[in-house]
Structure 1
Amino acid sequence: MLWKGFQKPKRLAVDQSTLTDKYGIFWAQPFERGFGTTVGNALRRVLLSSIEGAAVTAVKMEGVLHEFQSIPGVVEDATDIILNLKQIPFKLAGDAPKAIYLRADQPGVVTSGMIEADGDVEVLDKDVYIATVSEGGKLDMEMRLKRGRGYVSADKNFDEDLGIGFIPIDSVHSPVRKCNYTVEAARLGQITDYDKLTLEVWTNGSIAPADSIGLAAKLLKDHMNIFINFEEEIETGTSSSDDRKPEIHNENLNRSVEELELSVRSYNCLKNANIQTIGELVQKTEAEMLKTKNFGRKSLNE
């Protein structure tokens, strides 16, 4: 095939010293020249636009009829409060919209930590400033929290079941706050014209940086599959110096393959190949597995 002999990364490395639940630096090498930019740009665009997240899409404030109205006893007007609500990172379990509430009738600063919600909603940053209530003032709000992707305009957040008094607002759902990528020269043996791709990812904490990259890659792969109009050959190829992986001690590797809940056909194929544990399975390459009797592409994907 035309791509035979192409150098491809075998794994994604991570800088453990700087890794947090909101930030990570990842790199992969060696890519053929030009592929670092191709892959990096595609991943960055998907990371910033297409990963699902939760955001406030509509708000109802007691005594407020439109977003430009001021609220007696509250320093900020409705517009400023809505802008502050957009800065709050949420984590929402499930796909159904949720109602969350905020009630403040005492003088002082109102923050995101005062939001009331059920167990399906988590406020990831409880120190986001929302408003300041003065003496005799009161702030009473109900908000609709929904899952979505990227930027959604206010008119698209106008749901038919919104109650009277709700103001639909535009929302940014992406949990990825920022993503940078760089491409440097990489060396393999005596050849120095390969690419090394480095990704730097910031999230709001609702998804780990590594998971966001995994989802972006899966989304790209799913979109590319329709362009493949032939059966793929498994390239055995020669391994590079970057193939070496750190030794990992994982108790799951000793578990039986029966615990994987595979189909009967796939399980019988593994049994006939004398593969008893998950550890024995993960040591097999795709090419080796496809040589197993009755073990086809469908079983491999499973």
Structure 2
Amino acid sequence: EDVMQIILNVKGLAVKSYVDDEKVVELDVEGPAEITAGDILTDSDIEIVNPDHYLFTIAEGHSLKATMTVAKDRGYVPAEGNKKDDAPVGTLAVDSIYTPVKKVNYQVEPARVGSNDGFDKLTIEIMTNGTIIPEDALGLSARVLIEHLNLFTDLTEVAKATEVMKETE
């Protein structure tokens, strides 16, 4: 593989950090071997969720020592945002994609509760990379949405005073 392909493979890592601080993980390998995410040396603060993820093949007589920085964040950070002024020569800054949710589907169907058929049933299907469970992803995304939309509820007294949720028996 060329460097670009290896970088793309590294970006496919699913890494879970149990601490808020940045952590450094290491890769120290010798050929011949197929190198996977499971070959990355971590401590108890970092979990490689997809250890079978292929990174690259290293030929006989060759070796590689590399370090990677693991951080927690949200959304997308371009490579420029990951560059550090004090980084050693030869450091490759890579963009970071902090999006554990890979795909979401939803379906709304009519539903009956007792003799009343005026309800809807919402089914949500969430697929993640394994660094977060779907229930937590849904809860976190709902919380983010609520916080963003709360900005609008303070605009008028009518919005504040209106009851929107009905109690069902």
SS at match of 1:168: coil
SS at match of 1:167: coil
Alpha carbons of 1:236 and 1:123: their partners in 2 closer, same or farther (altered >3 Å)?
closer
One-letter amino acid matched to 1:167: L
- Structure 1 residues 16-165: aligned runs within 5 Å: 76-165=1-90
Residues in 2 aligned to 1:191 and 1:175: alpha-carbon distance in whole angstroms: 39
Residues in 1 aligned to 2:144 and 2:167: alpha-carbon distance in whole angstroms: 29
SS at match of 1:130: strand
TM-score scaled to structure 1, two decimals?
Answer: 0.50
Give how far 1:114 is off: 0.8
Give how far 1:110 is off: 0.8
- Structure 1 residues 178-217: aligned runs within 5 Å: 178-188=103-113, 192=117, 194-217=119-142
Please list every run of at least 4 consecutive aligned residues from structure 1 whose deviation after the TM superposition is greater than 3 angstroms: 187-194, 229-238
Structure with the greater relative contact order (CA < 8 A, sep ≥ 6): 1 or 2?
A: 1
Give how far 1:97 is off: 1.4
One-letter amino acid matched to 1:95: D
Give how far 1:108 is off: 1.3
1:170 is aligned to 95
Residues 88-144 of structure 1 show CA distances to partners (whole Å, capped at 9, x for unaligned) of 100012221111110111311111111012221111111111111111111221111
Residues in 2 aligned to 1:196 and 1:188: alpha-carbon distance in whole angstroms: 10
- Structure 1 residues 278-297: aligned runs within 5 Å: none
One-letter amino acid matched to 1:130: L
Give how far 1:235 is off: 7.6
Equivalences, count: 165
- Cα root mean square deviation, aligned: 2.2
Give how far 1:77 is off: 1.7
Alpha carbons of 1:184 and 1:159: their partners in 2 closer, same or farther (altered >3 Å)?
farther
Residues in 1 aligned to 2:31 and 2:3: alpha-carbon distance in whole angstroms: 18
Residues in 2 aligned to 1:237 and 1:131: alpha-carbon distance in whole angstroms: 56
One-letter amino acid matched to 1:138: S
SS at match of 1:125: coil
Residues in 1 aligned to 2:9 and 2:152: alpha-carbon distance in whole angstroms: 44
Unaligned runs of 5+ in 2: none
Give how far 1:186 is off: 2.7
TM-score scaled to structure 2, two decimals?
Answer: 0.85
Give how far 1:175 is off: 1.1
Indicate whether 1:239 and 2:168 are aligned.
yes
Pick the structure with greater CA Rg.
1
1:71 is aligned to none
Residues 212-268 of structure 1 show CA distances to partners (whole Å, capped at 9, x for unaligned) of 11111111111222222345476895524xxxxxxxxxxxxxxxxxxxxxxxxxxxx
Give how far 1:150 is off: 2.2
Question: Greater share of helix residues, 1 or 2?
Answer: 1
SS at match of 2:140: helix
Once structures 1 and 2 are overlaid, which stretch shifts more, 214-223 or 157-166? 157-166
Alpha carbons of 1:182 and 1:233: their partners in 2 closer, same or farther (altered >3 Å)?
closer
One-letter amino acid matched to 1:127: D
Unaligned runs of 5+ in 1: 1-75, 241-302
